[in-house]
Each structure stands twice: as C-alpha cells, then as structure tokens.
Chains A and B, each alone.
Chain A
C-alpha cells in the first residue's frame, strides 16, 4: 500500500518536472529571466556545490543554516516547554506570566529582526534570538494546553499512590502532556525555518537565506530555485527527524496505530 502510494507520488513529480521542461527549455513559454529551466537549475546546483557561491559552497551554507536552526529550536523548546508546563500546572505562574505573553505575542516574530540586528549585529546570535522568539510561542502554548487537558483522574491516581513531586512531573505530567508538547515542537520547528530564512535574507554572511539574497541581487533565477529547493528539503528532513523522535518518545501511541 505504502509502496503503491510512493509510486504514484513519484509519478506526479515526474509529470511536474516534464511540464517544467516543456514550459521552459522546450517551448520557451516562460522566459529564462523569470523562471529557470531544468538545465539552468542543474548548472546552478553544480556551481554552488563545487565552486561555491555567496561566500561558500553549498554544504557550508547548509551546515551553517542547520546549526542556527538546531540552536534556535533547542533554546526555544528548552525554555518554552518548561514554561508552558509550569503555566499549565500553576495558576499563580499562569497569572504572573500570561500578561507578559499577551503583550509580546501580537508582535510578529519577523518584526524583531531589526532590533535583533541592532543589538547583536549580523552574526549568529541575532538569528538565534529571532528564531527563539518565533519558535518559543508555539512550544509554550501547546505545552500549556497539554497540561490543562490532563484528565483529573490520572492526577488523582498519582496522588493516591503517593507519587513524590518530581516523579509526578517526570512520569505523569510530562508524558500526559507529551502529545501536545510534540504538536508544539512541530509548529516551533516550522517557525524556526521561516524565521531563519527571513533573518538570513535581511543580513547574513552564510546560509541558505544568504544564497537566496545574493541570487536575487545577481538576478540569477537558477540559483534562487536551488536555494528554495534546499530549504524545502531540509525543512522536510528536520520535520521527519522530529517525527521519528516523537515516535521513539511516545511508544504507547505508536502501538495504538500498529
């Protein structure tokens, strides 16, 4: 069944690539100055991989972007999830923290970019900060909801069994909230990619956003397309990685599907 699906999917992609070829190289309906032909894209990919483009070769850009994603995402998840759990569990923490949240939340994460660059310059720190701001919110909100929707019977059962506080947090609260925590992490990861590319577009020395930015200035559609495809592939790969981590972390849900 799965094999059949992937064959169909592969077919769709091949048809799309075929159309692309027909519209650009074969008929010239779309001018190469607006959208690259498969040939252009291939040459751009070759160039950035082998000789390099915008200060570096492709793997350097990719590694740089991945490093920022990893750091920003981890910082956001590492602060957002505990904060959300705390706010979900303690009415007092909720009362103290939510007003700050309500003030900051309406500001679109990308609007922080100028301030971040002003404070921290064009280096990595500014980007990590912006990713943090963007990816933090979904982690907090979903962890919060995860705690709030825990069935009270489960909490009562734990207290009836005399579960001490930290064991309760680690073995009851977190696992009970974990499906929602992972929903938050998925959204955080998406937000991380969106913000990273935007931040690199505004100003960066390396990274996939930097490739896109330079290619735009050079009016180089082939390279723009290569940059976009790289972002798409990496976004997909990191999402898969997270999904894999989720299925490892939540074995009781995995067996529910099997």
Chain B
C-alpha cells in the first residue's frame, strides 16, 4: 500500500466570489519509506499539496490518502516542517521541541534524552532556553526541523525546510538529512526550489507545471544513485560533480525551465 496518494486531486480556492484553481488533477503515489521531492514554479501549488497531506486543507475533488485512509485531520503521525517555521514564540527552544512528545505521553526522562538528541543533531546546543526570536532565521528553521524529527514520525512533510539557511549550513543539513534518510528511511514529501537539492536528497523528483498545478513528470533518481554509488561520497559537492548527477539535474532543470518560461508570456 502506498504511504501517501494523491488521486485526481483538484483544488480550487474561493477568492472574492470567484473560484481560483490552484491544482488541477494531481496524481502522485509515494511508497512507504520513499523520499519524494516536489519542484515547481512559485505559486504552482506545492505547499497546497503538502497541506492536504498534512490535513490542513482538503481537495475540492479527488482524494488524498495516507496509509490507505483519507486524510481528515492533522496528527503527529505526519510531522510538518512549515515554510514559515511556525514556532511557538512563548516557548523556549527546548519546550518547542518537547511539546509533541508531551502530547504523546512520553515520560519526562525519555523526553529530555530525545530532545537533547534532536538539539544535538540540529547543532542547537547551548540554545535550549532561548526563545525563537533570539535565534537567527536559519536557527529557527533548525528548531522547526528538530520539532518534527523528534516525533520520529512515519511521514515527514517538509516545505522548503532549508530555504532560510545560509549556504554552509544548508549543505551540512542536506548531508545530514541524506545520512538520516538512508540509515533510517521515512516517508518524506519534500518541497524545494532547488533542483540540486531535490536530486541529491530524493528517491524520486516530481516536477509540477505552473498554475494550475499538475504533476508534469516524475524522475526516478534512486536507480541512478544506487548504480553510480552516490552514497559512497560523504560530501555533496563530490556527488554534484558526478556525470550521472549533472545529467539528471540538467534534465529536471530543463523540464522546470519550460514551466518558468511559460509563466512570463
């Protein structure tokens, strides 16, 4: 059974009395423990797709299912990393990350360990008692990622989680995420504007058309990655130098560029 399925999903928002079509017949199936990245022009409906899988938004027609059940509400089985972080400003870094575990009823001692682990993973040591506004944008984003990761959810929904990071931190986080994803695979729906990031991280990359969004094509990266032993390289730049990587990246980039181009006309 697929972990996440979009079946003929159509989404219209009503704005000022007019139906505004954001998504038009989106079909996509994500297998359990598969890492799928979505790339597409701005405003094509990537966030809308992710929000429907999370249970914040519902299709106008069609179905979104997670583990075979139609999504009706948000829940901690599907942890979300929001494009706007969405941290709780009145909670410290520790409390922000801890809340999900408290809600699950995890005992206090274990919570402390798991939060500390997530904080270490995201390189936030020393900021446990800081409030979000005392952190840089990149650090806030890391807290948001830690808050999702600490739940150890079956499904991770990440909306441009590295968007606010500086180039160095971003690379570190990407390498870290690859290590995690390969060692401890989860079903991941990952939205990004960076084709390189998508190719480096994902098993498959879905390219969306410009609005109204559809899935234009899905490129299978994993067979190439496995055949060419990308994961033997610890550093992202070494992978990005490989001919097989460049080839895939260029192919996706061209596909995406056709969409961006058509927006200008």
Binding site for B on A (CB under 8 A): 151, 153-154, 156-164, 167, 171-172, 175-176, 178, 250-252, 255-256
Contacts and interface: CB of A to CB of B under 8 A. Distances in A.
Nearest to B77: A162
A162 B90 contact: no
Interface stretch (B33-41, B79-87, B218-226): B79-87
A154 B88 contact: yes
A171 B99 contact: yes
B89 interface: yes
Interface string B63-88: 00000000001111011101010111
A258 to B, nearest CB: 10
Interface in B48-69: 54, 56
Given A159-B73, A160-B76, A162-B75, A167 B82 contact: no
Q: Which of the listed residues A151, A157, A158, A175 has the most CB atoms from chain B within 10 Å of its own CB?
A: A157
A156 B54 CA distance: 10
B22 to A, nearest CB: 17
A157 B88 contact: yes
28 contacts: A153-B84, A154-B88, A156-B54, A156-B74, A157-B82, A157-B88, A158-B99, A160-B54, A160-B78, A160-B79, A161-B99, A161-B100, A161-B147, A162-B103, A162-B104, A167-B102, A167-B103, A171-B99, A172-B88, A175-B88, A176-B90, A250-B90, A252-B89, A252-B90, A252-B91, A255-B131, A255-B134, A256-B131
Interface string B137-169: 000000000010001000000000000000000
Nearest to B132: A252
B86 A154 contact: yes
B133 interface: yes
Interface in B114-149: 131, 133-134, 147
A163 B133 contact: no
Closest 10 CB pairs of A and B: A153-B86, A162-B76, A175-B90, A161-B100, A157-B86, A252-B131, A162-B103, A160-B74, A159-B74, A252-B90
A178 to B, nearest CB: 8
Contacts of B147: 157, 161
A97 to B, nearest CB: 27
B91 to A, nearest CB: 8
A160 B88 CA distance: 13
B82 A161 contact: no
A178 B102 CA distance: 23
Nearest to B133: A256
Contacts of B134: 255
Contacts of A171: 88, 91, 99
Contacts of B151: 161
A153 B89 contact: no
A164 B103 contact: yes
A38 to B, nearest CB: 49
Contacts of B100: 161-162
